[in-house]
Amino acid sequence: MSPDEHLRRLVRHSAPEFGTARPGAGADRARAGRGAARLYAGGMADSIPDQLPARSRLVETALRAAGIAGEIVLLPDSAATAPLAAAALGVEVGAIANSLVFFSDGEPLLVMTSGAHRVDTSALAQRLGRQKIARATPEQVRAATGQAIGGVAPAGHPAPVVTVVDRALADFPQIWAAAGTPHAVFPLTFAELVHLTRGTVERVD
């Protein structure tokens, strides 16, 4: 089975089977990730939005409004962490754009960081001229983004969120971000991520 055929099966059948493991799933998901761009160029894009969860459809709308062509891919198993997403897609963990929500100076702050990095909140606060940056609670994350931890996307939020983009993500020609749920991801470039979020590019580690 070709990568494109396999990803068609993932997209068509993954929704009712979220969280269900099967033998060989890791290798299959890696092949699917590598075939994603070719699949959507092949004409399935029109059928995808109807199959997306509601939160992912909001992300899809934001991507199209920003002129970003990358299509959302649904995975059968959770990609709630950078290592899980990298393994599912067959890419380096550094190419995963983690969406981490913090609370800073009375407002939410979204940090899009490379999966290979941990955010140094003290150093980042100093670079941004902020008093303090602290991890948001699950309730604050949901209020700011409309999404749950593990599936937070860089867009599709109820209102714009101030965003910082890790400059290390520029090292990768293609990066992957969550699309509103732990099972949904999409590809884009560093430049597209900065455009989509209107983010400030900064070192975060």
Domain residue spans in the chain? 1-205
CB 76 within 8 A of CB 92: no
Residues of the chain with confidence (pLDDT) below 50: 1-47
DSSP 3-state of 186: strand
Q: Could you tell me which CATH number the domain at 1-205 has?
A: 3.90.960.10
Single pTM value for the model = 0.77
Rounded Cα distance, 55 and 57, in Å: 5
pLDDT of residue 39: 34
pLDDT of residue 49: 59
Strands 107-114 and 73-74: unpaired
Rounded Cα distance, 165 and 167, in Å: 6
CB 70 within 8 A of CB 48: no
The Cα-based distances of 24 to 27, 29, 103, 118, 129 in angstroms read 6, 9, 40, 31, 48
pLDDT of residue 51: 81
Q: What is the pLDDT of residues 40-64, one digit of tens each?
A: 333 333 335 568 999 999 999 999 9
DSSP structure class, residue 36: H
Rounded Cα distance, 109 and 201, in Å: 13
Q: Which residues of 110-139 are buried (b: 16+ CB within 10 A; e: fewer)?
A: bbbbbbbbebebeebbeebeeeebeebeee
Q: What is the pLDDT of residues 160-193, one digit of tens each?
A: 999 999 999 999 999 999 999 999 999 999 999 9
165's tokens = 């983009």
pLDDT of residue 115: 95
pLDDT of residue 21: 29
DSSP 3-state of 111: strand
pLDDT of residue 29: 38
pLDDT of residue 23: 33
pLDDT of residue 110: 98
CB 133 within 8 A of CB 104: yes
Backbone angles phi, psi at 81, to 5 degrees: -125, 160
